[in-house]
Amino acid sequence: MSKTTKTNTQLIFSGIFNENPIFRLALSMCPAVGLSTTVMNGLLLGVAVLFVQVFSSCTISLIRNHIHPRIRIPTYTLTIATWVTVIDLVLAAYVPVAYKQMGIFIRLIVAFAIITMRLEMFACKNDIGPSFWDGIGMGLGFLFGMTVLGTVREVLGMGTFLGYDLLGFRPMLFFVLPAAGFFTVGFMMAIFNYAETIYKRQKRS
Amino acid sequence: MKEIIKITIALTISCLIAGSLMGGVFMITAKAKQQSEYMNIQQSLFGLLGYDSHHSAPPGLELCHLYRYIVEDESGVCSGYLIPVHNGAETEYVFVILNQTGKFVTQFHIAIQAEKLMNEADRKTAIKTAAGPSKTIRYADDMTIVRTGNQRTAYVLMGNFSGFKNFIHAMVALNSNFGIMGMEITSHEEDPGLGGEIEKEYFKNQFKGKSFEGLQILTVTKDPLPEDYRRYLETQKWQRRRISQTDAEVIGEKYHGADIHAISGATISSVCVTQGVKQLVKNFAYRIDLLDRAIQENKIPAAF
């Protein structure tokens, strides 16, 4: 993949739909399955990933000409770890309420495949502008995926939405368990693929 | 060979940049973080006393912080208390040293501003300068005396005791008769899901309402926690479908003198917390009595 030809809007939309990290690229499945038990978890993790993705993409695209090709991956990891630590410290100091909820998730982001993959595939070949919009698109895509998964699992598993009692009973307790994460991701992938086929068929006719 | 040197240099430089960036951010945020941690402690302190966003604290409420230190010199080990005193309208600080049996040894004036008092390092330096180099000083714990008007209404103890692996830090609120008003675990390193459950409501709220006399004979039982008692203890969890006031009173009465029900799979942690809280309250009641007597005998104008 060489320099991108997409416009900024296209970059954002492709991050959310065509190349959605969870449903299309099937990356970062561990957090997607493990932490999407409630809408709140999904939202918070999505926001944290969005920030780290944007900051790391911008940094890498700025210094991409100075990175020795043999040590690309260590440099990416270092960049991500630095931004994660910075965000962790800033949140702990100035937004303690949110930090109490998000603290454990933020440190997990260092190991997320989606961020490293985006740096390797996109940021190290493009200028800072497209990299920024790609980071936003990918972050929003992850946020969208996590929120959808969280909504499905929280409503079906616990009968609540954002902690508010919606149904008054628990329809399927199974959806809170980790195994249900795979089921939900699978169903969502199927829906996305089906939507794509229909979209393509309409475009052709 | 040339390439490996290039790689080494490149990696070293990037690590240095990353390190200095993180260090810089840490230096900027450290103070704000300390402040927010302090606010957190204040919030749980008021929470234990029963004041929150719905029930604000009465206007006459006064908090006096006392810091206890272990003082060692050639004559032996003593306890030192950093206490606020009245000097006209001003509040000043005095370090009172009592020996093992509670006899008054000496007191000296500590020059420290109220803002600096929160910081452990600043406090220690101030005490060290006043006490002289012959004494070694070690921080032990601190307590807060809550007053409304001229009456002591509650005490809040901050203390630690050993848990399953490492120290458990806890906060215990007592009423004026040394009965427990509430207990909060501030930090611990117990296993998540097992000993980590000590911070859950169904465990920590079991201490609520135990009297000083009842606490002395309190033990840990391995019987399962009755369902109605659990429902009664988990007030936060069931906030939206709360049990009625009369039901709560009946259940509270029924289990008033009950022993602490151990967390299944974490008996050691449960016993540690129970013994720790017992010891904490017992020591406090003994110490505050000695301190009060010393203050009275030496006519120290203490602010509590």
Q: Is the pLDDT of residue A1 over 70?
A: no
Q: Is the pLDDT of residue A126 over 70?
A: yes
What is the model's pLDDT at position B193?
66
Contacts of B150 (CB under 8 A, 6+ apart): none
For range A57-70, the mean pLDDT: 87
What is the model's pLDDT at position B271?
92
**pTM as predicted:** 0.69
> Which one is predicted more confidently, B109 or A60?
A60
Q: Is A79 in the B-facing interface, judged by CB distances under 8 Å? A: yes
Distances (CA, A) of B121 to A204, B17, B129, B140: 73, 30, 12, 13
Complex prediction ipTM: 0.75
Indicate the pLDDT class of residue B225, thresholds 50, 70 and 90. confident
For range A22-35, the mean pLDDT: 81
Spell A92-127 as b/e; 16+ CB within 10 A means b: bbeebeebeebeebbebbbebebbbbbbeebbbebe
Q: Is the pLDDT of residue B274 over 90?
A: yes
What is the model's pLDDT at position B74?
78
Nearest CA in chain A to B19: A82
Dump pLDDT digits (tens) for A77-122: 999 999 999 988 888 888 777 777 677 778 888 888 888 888 888 8
Q: How far apart are CA B56 and CA B50, in angstroms?
A: 9
Dump pLDDT digits (tens) for A136-187: 999 999 999 989 998 988 888 878 788 777 777 777 778 877 788 888 899 9
Distances (CA, A) of A108 to A76, A84, A92, A95, A137: 15, 9, 16, 19, 21
Distances (CA, A) of B9 to A8, B4, B13, B16: 36, 9, 6, 10
Dump pLDDT digits (tens) for B98-145: 887 778 888 888 877 777 777 777 888 888 888 777 788 888 888 888
> Highest mean pLDDT: which of B14-18, B84-88, B224-228, B291-295?
B14-18
What is the model's pLDDT at position B187?
81
The residues spanned by each domain of chain B are 1-57, 61-290
> In this structure, which long-range contacts are made by residues B12-17, counting pairs with CB atoms below 8 Å and at least 24 apart in sequence?
B14/A75, B14/A78, B15/A78
Residue A78 to residue B3, Cβ atoms within 8 A: no
Instruction: Tell me the two tokens of residue B168.
Output: 């458990």
Nearest CA in chain B to A82: B18
For range B257-284, the mean pLDDT: 89
Q: How far is B256 from chain A (nearest CA, A)?
A: 32
> Which one is predicted more confidently, B231 or B5?
B5
What is the model's pLDDT at position A2?
61
B-side interface with A, Cβ within 8 Å? 3, 6-7, 10-11, 14-15, 18, 21-22, 25-26, 29-30, 32-33, 36-37, 39-40, 240
> Which one is predicted more confidently, B192 or B300?
B300
For range B49-72, the mean pLDDT: 79
- Chain A partners within 8 Å of B25 (Cβ): 85-86, 89-90
Instruction: Tell me the two tokens of residue B93.
Output: 């600080």
What is the model's pLDDT at position A45?
85
Residue A89 to residue B11, Cβ atoms within 8 A: no
What is the model's pLDDT at position A55?
93
Nearest in space to B208 (alpha carbons), one of B244, B247, B248: B248
